[in-house]
Structure 1
Amino acid sequence: MIQCKSSYKVISDKESNINFSRYTSFNIIDHNHNFPLGANPINKQRIERAVINELEKLGYEQKNDCDLIVAWFVKVDTKYEEAIYTNYYNRYI
């Protein structure tokens, strides 16, 4: 039996000496080249919508002529776990 475990970890990075309260608008960089090959494109839309929603909750407005440019990326690590069940005569996988 092979099992796949799904978990995620969110990491963010920003300049510590920047006062973000002086900014009012943002836009997201279109970066299709960073989305994992073979990944579901609907997930890209979900991630971007989640980023937009969170920034709007913080009071930022999405605009083309913006104060902040937001970039995000996804890294996928695939891990498998295998369990082997045996009895006295045969081995089952």
Structure 2
Amino acid sequence: MISSAQGSISDNMNGRHEVYRSSKSALNQLMRSYAARHADDGRALLLMAPGWIRTDLGGPKAPFSVEESIPKVVDVLISKHGRPGLEYLDRDGNTVRW
């Protein structure tokens, strides 16, 4: 699932973008509940926070292009293969705090 670091409740120190943040927090909660209910499945589940990307949503000031970001996202997806359970990771494979 594509989430965002802005979905992190722990890292929300300055507010702003409340509607976007809450939608991503809700997605994170949904996936956490799903993972708990299916803990014995052995599935690899991932909430991906790709960073601020230059798109229609991200705008022209975002530091990364889609072309720069996608290879990193794919690398994280591949590294998650075979590792069961839910993780919330950024595009560099670092854990994002819940």
User: TM-score with structure 2 length normalisation?
Assistant: 0.30
Higher normalized helix content (fraction of residues) = 2
Q: Which has the larger radius of gyration?
A: 1
Higher normalized strand content (fraction of residues) = 1
